[in-house]
């Protein structure tokens, strides 16, 4: 209902002035009080949405997940953030939106974006060769001359997981072998001992090694450590100050980082992952709101500044002929108008979805998972939670923004 304010103006007219009639007494009009300074508007407090909380908590209870964190944005505004369960079960420390989680393979999206930033800076091309004389990493690893498949490999082949090497179907993913090796030692061992059975582009074969090598390319081109480049070129511009690289042991956990809980056969491996060497393929840590800041910086919406140009976003979301659902480090679900990414490690499950159709994005992080042998129903159940959050246009999200600056 529109409100109307009516102003009444009264004009008094006389036929003489006070100079003409000495009997006229001038009446001093009382001075009108100055209007009080308007009271600053109180920031609107987030109101719990029972249907949202019930969906997350029901999922966690069913799959024995100790703790989780959720963040939802609409048109680049942080409209909902919530912690569930425990960051530390023994201490009964409850999860808050400020708690940090491992992102696992969601890190690959950061790596794809980092490479595209170097492309924007004209320091790199996606078609650049990776190994061989004149290539980015040259011939310093392994024993050249290299076989034709390795020599033909490009940066884009790595990011699309079509390198023809190092995946389950092409010799196995060896990312966790030789945990004592440095990056140089590990790459030398991979090139020396792992075959390249397929020509690049022939087969989609998911591989952590592909993205780990992409991290070495970022370091070679930028002259910085992978995480330093990510912090300077992604984290700092978007204000995601709680983003870092994972530590290996329980003692390496950062302040406000959750404890991780391995179920069944996962338990011995929660603190045995080859961090911090595993950086560009699965080593980033962040809060759920900071992961959402990253998603909002690549979504093409106008609410927050993007760090990629329109041309770079197009490249990010371009898939290969061998897998029409995978872009440069993230999933592309064209039928649903979504980009997304999932991550999984012992003690970790993470994911985000971004719906450009209605401006809704969601990030969800957990400190446990179902073991891979039993994971299929778990993955689809988690996906259903995410899909409902980004596709349900009836959820009563408030028009608030908790990102701040």
Residue 271's nearest CA partner among 279, 280, 282, 262 is 262
pLDDT at 30: 47
Q: How confident is the model at residue 97 (pLDDT cuts 50, 70, 90)?
A: very high
Q: What span, in angstroms and rounded, lies between the C-alpha atoms of 326 and 329? A: 7
- % of the chain exceeding 70 in pLDDT: 89
Long-range contacts, stretch 324-329, CB < 8 angstroms, 24+ apart: 326/160, 326/161, 326/204, 327/112, 327/160, 328/112, 328/115, 328/116, 328/156, 328/159, 328/160, 329/108, 329/109, 329/110, 329/111, 329/112, 329/113, 329/159, 329/211
pLDDT, one tens digit per residue, over 207-225 is: 999 999 999 999 999 999 9
Does 36 score more than 70 pLDDT? Answer: no
Q: What span, in angstroms and rounded, lies between the C-alpha atoms of 309 and 117? A: 9
- Mean pLDDT confidence for 134-145: 96
pLDDT at 34: 53
Q: How confident is the model at residue 43 (pLDDT cuts 50, 70, 90)?
A: low
Q: How confident is the model at residue 15 (pLDDT cuts 50, 70, 90)?
A: very low
pLDDT at 293: 98
Task: Please list, in sequence order, all residues whose beta carbon lies within 8 angstroms of the beta carbon of residue 100, skipping any fewer than 6 positions away.
Answer: 242, 244, 254, 256, 257, 258, 285, 286, 287
Task: Please list, in sequence order, all residues whose beta carbon lies within 8 angstroms of the beta carbon of residue 404, skipping any fewer than 6 positions away.
Answer: none
**Which residue in this structure is represented by tokens 């976003």?**
313
> What is the domain partition of the chain in residue ranges?
50-391
Q: What span, in angstroms and rounded, lies between the C-alpha atoms of 97 and 75? A: 20
Does 24 score more than 60 pLDDT? Answer: no
Report, in angstroms and rounded to the nearest whole number, the Rg of the chain calculated over CA atoms: 28
Structure tokens that stand for 314 in this block: 């197009």
Provide the mean pLDDT of the chain: 91
- Please check whether residue 285 is in contact with residue 101, taking contact to mean a CB–CB distance below 8 angstroms: yes
pLDDT at 404: 81
- Mean pLDDT confidence for 135-153: 97
pLDDT at 111: 98
- Residue 129: CB atoms within 10 A of its CB come to 18
pLDDT at 271: 97
Q: What span, in angstroms and rounded, lies between the C-alpha atoms of 114 and 105? A: 15
- Mean pLDDT confidence for 178-191: 97
- Report which DSSP code applies to 266: G
pLDDT, one tens digit per residue, over 340-386 is: 999 999 999 999 999 989 999 999 999 999 999 999 999 999 999 99
- Mean pLDDT confidence for 127-154: 97
pLDDT at 33: 52
Residue 150's nearest CA partner among 176, 174, 129, 171 is 129
**At the fourth CATH level, which superfamily is domain 50-391?**
DD-peptidase/beta-lactamase superfamily (3.40.710.10)
Task: Please list, in sequence order, all residues whose beta carbon lies within 8 angstroms of the beta carbon of residue 352, skipping any fewer than 6 positions away.
Answer: 106, 291, 292, 295, 340, 341, 361, 362, 363, 364, 386
- Mean pLDDT confidence for 251-270: 97
Does 5 score more than 90 pLDDT? Answer: no
**Which residue in this structure is represented by tokens 């994971």?**
375
pLDDT at 45: 86
C-alpha angle with apex 141: 136 to 147, nearest 5 degrees? 85
pLDDT, one tens digit per residue, over 286-335 is: 999 999 999 999 999 989 999 999 999 999 999 999 999 999 999 999 99
3-state secondary structure of 296: helix
């Amino acid at each position: 209902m529109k409100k109307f304010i009516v102003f009444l103006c009264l004009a008094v007219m006389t036929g003489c002035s006070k100079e003409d009639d000495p009997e006229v007494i001038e009446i001093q009009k009382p001075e009108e009080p100055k209007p009080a300074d308007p009271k600053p508007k109180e920031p609107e407090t987030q109101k719990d949405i029972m249907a949202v909380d019930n969906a997350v908590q029901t999922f966690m209870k069913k799959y024995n997940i100790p703790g989780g964190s959720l963040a939802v944005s609409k048109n680049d505004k942080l409209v909902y953030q919530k912690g569930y369960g425990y960051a530390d079960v023994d201490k009964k420390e409850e999860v808050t939106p400020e708690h940090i989680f491992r992102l696992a393979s969601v890190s690959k999206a950061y790596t794809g974006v980092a490479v595209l930033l170097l492309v924007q800076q004209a320091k790199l091309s996606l078609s650049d060769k990776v190994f061989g004389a004149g290539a980015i990493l040259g011939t310093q690893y392994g024993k050249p001359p290299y076989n034709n498949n390795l020599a033909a490999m490009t940066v884009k082949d790595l990011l699309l997981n079509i390198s023809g090497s190092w995946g389950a179907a092409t010799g196995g993913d060896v990312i966790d072998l030789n945990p004592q090796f440095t990056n140089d030692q590990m790459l030398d061992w991979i090139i020396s001992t792992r075959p390249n059975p397929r020509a690049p582009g022939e087969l989609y074969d998911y591989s952590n090694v592909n993205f780990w090598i992409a991290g070495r390319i970022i370091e070679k081109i930028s002259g910085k450590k992978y995480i330093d480049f990510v912090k300077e070129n992604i984290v700092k511009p978007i204000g995601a100050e709680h983003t870092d690289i994972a530590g290996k042991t329980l003692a390496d956990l950062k302040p406000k980082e959750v404890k991780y809980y391995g179920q069944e056969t996962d338990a011995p491996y929660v603190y045995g992952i080859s961090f911090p060497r595993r950086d560009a393929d699965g080593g980033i840590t962040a809060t759920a709101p900071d992961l959402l800041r990253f998603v909002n910086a690549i979504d093409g919406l106008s609410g927050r500044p993007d760090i990629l140009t329109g041309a770079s976003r197009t490249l990010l979301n371009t898939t290969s002929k061998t897998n029409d659902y995978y872009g440069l480090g993230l999933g592309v679900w064209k039928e649903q108008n979504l980009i997304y990414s999932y991550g999984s490690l012992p003690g970790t499950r993470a994911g985000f979805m971004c719906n450009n159709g209605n401006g809704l994005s969601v990030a969800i992080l957990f400190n446990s998972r179902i073991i891979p042998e039993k994971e299929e129903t778990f993955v689809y159940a988690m996906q259903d939670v995410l899909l409902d959050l980004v596709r349900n246009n009836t959820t009563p999200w408030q028009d608030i923004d908790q990102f701040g600056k």
